Every structure is written in C-alpha cells, then in structure tokens.
Structure 1
Amino acid sequence: MSGNLAPRLRALSGVFPVGVMLGTIAAEYGSSPVLAGLSGVLSLATILAFCVSDRSSPRIFAVVGLAMVILAILSRSDGLAGSWSAVEKGSFVIALYTALSAIRIAASGSEEILACGRFLAGQRPGLRYLALTIGGHLFGLILLYGSIALLGSLASESAMREPDPEIRRHRRRRMLVAVQRGFASTLSWSPLGFSMAITTALVPGAEWPKVALPCLAISITMIIVGWGMDAIFKPRLNRPVPIGSGPGGGWLLHLRPLLLLLAVVVTGVFLLHQAAHVDVVVAVMSFVPTVAMAWILQQGKSSGTGRMSHLGHRVGEFTTRELPAYGGQIVLLFMAAFIGSLGAFLLVPMMPRLGIDLGALPPLLIVVSMVWLVPLTGQMGMNPILSVSLIVPMLPSPAEMGVDPAALVAAIVGGWAITGTTSPFTASVLLIGSFGKVSPRHVGLAWNGFYALVMGIVISAWSAFLAMSM
C-alpha cells in the first residue's frame, strides 16, 4: 500500500465502527433487519480496513474466519445464513466496544478522574490493597481495560518513589495485582462488560436483572478473598518498614466524581431499559455514548475554544485517532465472536453423528465444568469471547438440565473473571505484565495462580449451590 494511502485508510477506518454502533442501536430500537444488515456490512468494512492499514492487527484470525466461511458454504445448504449470523454477533461486539470506548476517552480528559486514581494509589500500606482493588472495580465498571491503564500507571509511579529496591518490588507487585483483581471482579456481574452481555445472549432464559445478584456475590467474594490472601501472604521483611501516611480528606470527597458518574450511568441505563423495553446491554450501548458527549461538552468550558468546538474536536480525534489505535483489539474481538459463533454453527449438528450427547452428563458437572473450561482455554490462547461463543451453544439449555439459568451464567462469568487474572493472552494480564516488568505468564501463574485456584473452588461451589436450589 502506498505511503499516502495507508494513513488515509487508517484515519477512515475509525468511521466504520462508529457506523456499526449507530446502525446497531437504531436496528435494536426499530427492529429493522435493513439497519442490522447495514451494521453487518460496516463491520466487515471495519475488519477489512484495519487488516489492510494496521500491520499489527491479528490477520491470521481473519484468514481462519474466511476459511470457516468457505467450509460452511460447502458443507451446509444454510452455510451463508450461518456465516451472516456470525457477522451479526461480531457486529454487536464492535458496537458495544465502540460505545464503551467513548466513555473511556471522555474520562481520559477529566482531571477529577485522574485525581481519584492518585488518591487510591497514595493510600498507606494497610489500606492500599483494598483501596486499589475497590478502585479497580469502580473504575473498571466504566473504563474497562482503561482502568488498568490508568490505575496501573499511577500505581507504578507511586511505587517508584520508594527508595528501597526490595520494598519497591513487592509494593509494585501488590498494587498491580490489586488493580487487576479489582477489574477482573467486574467481569462476573457488570452489565457494561462483554462477559455478561455475551453470556446472557447465549444462555436461554438468562437476563441481566435476573442473574445480577448471584453474580454480584461472586464479585464481592473475589474482592474479599484477594484482600485476605494479600494480608496472609504479604512478604515478610527482616527490617521494619516505615509506615507512611495516606492523602488527607475523606473517601467520599475524593471519589465523588467517579461515584457520581457511576450513579448517572446506572440510573440512566435502568430508566432507559424500563421505558424503552430494550435489553440492558442495548440500553448501555445507547446511553453511555450520550453521557460521554455530555461529559466532553462540560469539559469544554475550560478548553478556551468553546464547548461545541471542543466536542467536535474530541469526536474527530476519537474517530480518526483513538479508534484506529485500537484496530488490532477490535479485529481480535470481532473475530473471536465470529469464529466462536460460526464454529458452534458447524459443530452442533455434527455432535449427534459423532455420538456426543452432552445432555447425558450430570447437570452439576456441566455447570461446574464451565468455571474451569473458560480459564483453561484462556491458557491455550482462546479469548473468552471465542471459547464461550463456541462452547455454550453445544450445551443443553438450563431448562433441559433442570437448573436455574443464573447457575450457568454464574459459572461462565466466574470462569471469565478468573481468565482475566490468569490468561497471558488477555489485555488485562498483558497490561499488568508491562507495568510490572514481568512476562504475562508470570503474572497469570506466579502472581495469580493460587488466587485463581481458590476462586475456582469457591465459584464452583456457589454455581453448584445455585443449580441445586432451583
């Protein structure tokens, strides 16, 4: 590709995911197959543009996806329809990712949000882990992986001020692990994350309002167990450690901007869900960008250029710079959903011919196995979106197994949360490894291996209890 064309295509590529988001939102509210089809076309244009303009994008997944499409068309009469259904699944992922990226970009321009992060990272040693894991959770609800980038950088910056190299090394590890586990705990219940959105879409009878409380219990347990393990296994030094003091001021005062943002998003999503009778994820997808634009407008009063001018500038940057910078991530997420969906489409009809009947297995075994299968496939390089999209359609429905859908959802999202702390191929582990200056596999197995084992046992027991309580 010529030197002049590549930058132009890269800048244009950010327009496509915005179009996918707008088309998906309109299609969901209007129940329009035409708009849904347009979103699918734009999502394919997104992947093509990123694969051509960004050499770092995982093109191998696109090649695998194309090969699967050819196989589907040659092996099944409805292969084209199944392939298009997989495109629509991937389109939904792009739309949700774009919507959530908007709020992350708005937050990056907020000095108040940065101040919240500095307050958490500056806590005294006795409170630091708990502060950062709760902060990682609260920030993760809104910023997703951006919470790790924000708090991880602030934690590393805070640890580097410690002159003793041994204390500095332990402090950095404990702070980064706290941030990571706090973020991972959002994966087990947050309606703003891919884990809950995809799982509730795949599990028959599952809706976020019906599964939120059982899954929130997993999140709370992850925070408590992590805090307890940090206190029990904290490093013992042969010399006294100087006790520092944390920043002054009350917690509510310092965290007020973040808590206010969360309150606005949660309340707005709930009201929209009730008033428009749309799925919670659709309400998130449509409301969050609105909040992001309002927030950017508010930030514009101190920009010196005017609010509307500031909004136009930031939207332009978001479209032509921010989204293209995440092109590889968008390709990976789309292809994970696409390959998982199309793989299930090809494999499900083959199972009876191969003599495989998962319905013959004990329901408790199926439910509990999902807690471990998702992290295991994560160690093999499979994104949870791919593994869940591939495996869940092959399982008997909760009604067929005689279990509450909440049990299966809790097992899946619980395993997804564990994957967020252990898989060396996930963004959360990669980011923590880069901040901690260790390999992603060291983060997953050495820093979080025992924690993942404990949480796997706890989540298995909880999911089994939910399954038996129906």
Structure 2
Amino acid sequence: MLGTLLFLVLDLQAGAWLARIALLLYLLVQWPRQTRMAKGILLVVIAMAGVVVWRETHPIPILLQALDRLCFFATFVSSLGLLRVSAMRSRLVREAGTTLIRQKPALRYPTLSLGTALFGVIINIGVLNLFGAMVLRSNTLKAAGGHDDIQAARERRMMLSILRGFALAPLVSPLGITMAVILANMPSLTWATLAPVALPTAGLFFLLGWWLDWQLRPGHLASRVPHTAPPSLTPLWQFTLLALAITLGVFAVSIAAELRLPVAVLVACPLSAILWMALQRQRLGGGTGLPRALTLLGRHSRLIFGANRGEIAVLGGSACLGALITPLIDPQMLHEMLLATHLQGAAMAVAAMLLVVALAQIGLNPIVSVTLLASLLGDGVGADPRLLAVGLMCAWSLSMISSPFTASMLVLSQLISRSPYRIAWRWNGVFFLLVVPMLALWIGVLGQWL
C-alpha cells in the first residue's frame, strides 16, 4: 500500500518496485487459502503473461503496467478494508442499522434499500452481513405475532430490500470498486461527468424496486402484523453525516492534491479509518486513542489484510488481465468488428450490459467482464463514453441481483439458509424481467440526450 502511494502520488519508481515485490509475496503466501475462482483468475493471468512474453518483442513494459494495475486495485481493496474494520467495531453503525430494520412496513423498503446503499459506501459487502444478521435477529417468531407466514414474508421483503440496495452501490458510490474500474479504464471520464447520468439511473432502479415491493406486498397478512413504535432516527442521521464526511474527505484530498478520485480514495480512506478507530478508543478522561488504534492495526494486521485475499486476487487479477489482453488486440480489427455489428452508441452500451449479465449467469464475475470490456472498448464506442460507462455500471448492478454466483448472493444465501438460485431467479425474477428493459430504454433515451 505504501509503495503504491509513493508511486502514484510522488511518482517514485522505488515505490513501484516495493509494491510489486510485496504484492507478489503476499499472493504467494495467501495462495493455499484462496478460493477456486481466485486461483483460476490468477492462473489465467500467469498464462496470459506467458502469451505476452511470447508474442511481444518488448514485453517488460506491458508486464510492469499490468502488475502496477494489480498493485493499485490491491491497495484500493485494502484501503476500503480498513474502513470496514472500523465500521464493524462501531456502536453507531449497529444502532443505525437497528433503526433501519425496525421501521414500519410501508417505509421498510426505502429505508433498508437506501440505508444499505449508504452503508455500502463505507463497509462494502460487509453491509450484507451486518444487515442480514440484524434482520434475522429482529424477525423472530415472537415479533411476527407467532405467525410463520408473516415471518417468512418479512424475511423475503427485507432481504430483497437489502440486496437491491446493495446493488445501487455501483451506480451511486464514488468510493466503490465499480467506479474505480470504470475510471481506470476510461480515463476521459471523471465522477463529476458520470454522476449526472448514473444518479438518475440509480433513482429509476430504486423506484421500480419500491413500487414492486408495494405491489407484491402480502395484503392479507397486514391485519395480523403486531404494531410497534418506530425507533428514533438520530443514529441514522449521525451515521449519514459520518459517511458524508468521509466522502467529502476523499473529494477534498482529490482537489487539494490534484489526484484522480480513485487515487484520492487510497489516501483518504485509510486516514479516515485510523481516525475513526482512534475516536472509538479514546481513553476515559482524556487521550486521543490514536496509539490504541495503531496497536490494533499492528496486532491484527495479518487477519485484517489476509481477509482481503479473495477480493485482491479476483479484482486485481481481472484488472491485470485487462492490461495484458489489451495490447494483444489489433485496434483496426476491433474497429472493423464493431462496424460489422452495426452497433454504436446506446445500442453498443445495451449490448455490453446484456453480455455482462448473461456471462454472470454462468459464473463469470462482473469484475472480470466489465474490466475487459471497459479496457477493450474504452472511449472508442463511436459516441459519448458515458453511455458505455453507465451500461457497464447497470450490468454490474443487474448481475448482483440476478446471478447465483456473485459474492452478494452467496452471502445472503448463507445467512438465511436459502438456495442462491431461489433468491436470484424466483424471489427476484419479476423485478429482473422489469428492470432490464427499463434500463435498456433509459440508455436509449440517454443516447438521444448526450
């Protein structure tokens, strides 16, 4: 992490070499504990590196660029991981989450969905474990008045609210992995240029989910639901202010240091995480808590950074793969293939969206497909690059709610002991069939507007 920051912020080549060597050692040490998917991606990266050495007359610059891309995303994942450690130890996070869970049925979808999106900015996929566990704790048979059917209906509605809220993150979070992938592979774009397109898209996604939740509500059970007083919203507002402060801190670092937003995340998020830990560990009667926070990081660093092994391998490996494949592609041939499809602008963006979603249904993580498509097509789709970017961001969101193989679906499946196929294809099937054509039409409208 330090080597990557020295290279990206101060342009020190020694930092780049420190990062490259350290990361290769990390991947070697963590190899026995990696999942099959992570190992598979890393083996494909090694094979593709061999192809580059065989095909290219000057392979070293390409290999180093690919390794630097891997270092960047490893540092990105680790930076957000530190923030997640701070959040999971925070009493405010637990209180705010409980406030969301205990809302009235009519307000439960918007509060849970938007709350998950907000928490997801800070703790990423950890929000599914946090909220999912809270749903299971609060949705007891006693709370449902002793009715099994009410308990089951609540579980389904709340879990879908959480899942769809988490799927908003690729469209709304400036600190997310999706935004980092898009901006890294499409350098002409910034968060400021994407936000006016991405945020209304997220709004449509959210409103359709809310409307469908209301339409499919089990009205015959409403009279049997016990009424409880709604909790205070104070913890939720406090957490909202905290999340806003961290986000503004990233933008402040980006402006002050003249850094691109993904690089500013690498600087601001670890500092925010350490400061948050320090505030949690202030001594009674005085003290900053900073020594305790640093001691915690030192003692548990092996577990904290080891827990990121899968994300680093999958995300970093996918980014590395994109950097290795791109030089092997003939730009003229790619251009001719695109012309042969007669797809340009909005049509190309919709086709890319559908391709990513289709590949996700057979187990190809959107991290891989979005990275490759963004790196191959880049800014050259014959129209405003924001169209391709928003199409890929929509694809990432759609994959999260529809593929049984994504991490988000597997986390919820394990929490509630339900098949991921049941959650993705049966519980969420109607929403998926409605949201795909809606987003395709919306991208077409954007194509006329941009």
Unaligned runs of 5+ in 1: 1-20
Give the CA deviation at 1:67.
1.7
Q: Residues 312 and 461 (structure 1 numbering): CA distance in 2 closer, same or farther, change over 3 Å?
A: same
Match of 1:30 among 2, 7, 10: 10
3-state SS of 2:364 partner: coil
- Measure the CA separation in 1 of the matches of 2:34 and 2:361: 26
Aligned length: 444
Amino acid at match of 1:153: A
The whole-number CA distance in structure 1 between the counterparts of 2:73 and 2:304 is 17
In the TM superposition, what are the counterparts of 1:8-47 in structure 2 within 5 Å?
A: 21-47=1-27
What corresponds to 2:147 in structure 1?
A: 164
Aligned mate of 1:273, from 248, 254, 265: 254
CA 278–442 in structure 1, closer or farther in 2 if over 3 Å, else same = same
In the TM superposition, what is the alpha-carbon distance from 1:133 to its structure 2 partner? 0.6
Q: In structure 2, what residue type is equivalent to 1:244?
A: H
| TM-score, structure 1 as length reference | 0.88
User: Which residue type is aligned with residue 324 of structure 2?
Assistant: L
Task: Give 1:305 shift.
Answer: 11
Deviations 1:269-320 (A, max 9, x none): 2222111110011112210111111111111125899624421332124412
Contact 1:50–1:327 (Cα < 8 Å) also in 2: yes
Alignment check: 8 A CA contact 2:109 2:210 kept: yes
1:99 and 2:82 matched: no
Paired residue for 2:183? 200
The alignment status of 1:465 with 2:435, answered yes or no, reads no
Deviation track 1:4-40 (CA, whole Å, cap 9, x = no partner) reads xxxxxxxxxxxxxxxxx22222222112333223322
Matches within 5 A, 1:116-195: 116-161=96-141, 162=144, 163-195=146-178
- 1:319 is aligned, of 279, 301, 308, to 301
Tell me whether 1:244 sits opposite 2:224 in the alignment: no
2:80–2:269 contact (8 Å) kept in structure 1? yes
Cα distance in 1 for partners of 2:310, 2:421 equals: 21
2:193 maps to which residue? 210
Q: Unaligned stretches of 5+ in structure 2?
A: none
The worse-fitting range, judged by mean Cα deviation, of 332-341 and 406-415 is 332-341
Equivalents in 2 of 1:182, 1:289: separation in Å?
25
- Give the distance between the partners of 2:128 and 2:79, measured in 1 at CA: 18
Q: Distance in 2 between matches of 1:151 and 1:291?
A: 23
Determine the structure 2 residue equivalent to 1:6.
none
What amino acid does structure 2 have at the position aligned with 1:60? Answer: G
1:310 to 279, 284, 292: 292
Q: Partner letter of residue 443 of structure 1?
A: I
Compared CA separation, residues 151 and 304, structure 1 to 2 (3 A): farther
Structure 2 distance, partners of 1:344, 1:451, is 35
- Which residue pairs with 1:231 in the alignment? 214
In the alignment, the residues of structure 1 paired with residue 36 and residue 356 of structure 2 have an alpha-carbon distance, to the nearest angstrom, of 26
| Structure 1 counterpart of 2:413 | 433
Taking the aligned partners of 1:238 and 1:196, their CA distance within structure 2 comes to: 41
Q: CA deviation at 1:396?
A: 6.5
Aligned equivalents of 1:113, 1:304: Cα separation in 2: 24
Structure 1 pair 236–334 and aligned structure 2 pair: CA distance change class (3 A): same
Q: What percent identity do the matched residue pairs reach? A: 27
Select which of 109, 113, 118 maps to 2:93: 113
Q: Does 1:297 align with 2:265?
A: no
225-234 or 238-247, which deviates more: 238-247
Superposition map of 1:68-83 within 5 A:
68-83=48-63
- How far apart are residue 267 of structure 1 and its match? 1.8
Over the aligned positions, Cα root-mean-square deviation in angstroms equals 2.4
Bigger shift: 89-98 or 331-340? 331-340
Q: Is the 8 A contact 1:72 1:80 kept in 2?
A: no
Distance in 2 between the 1:291 and 1:285 partners? 11
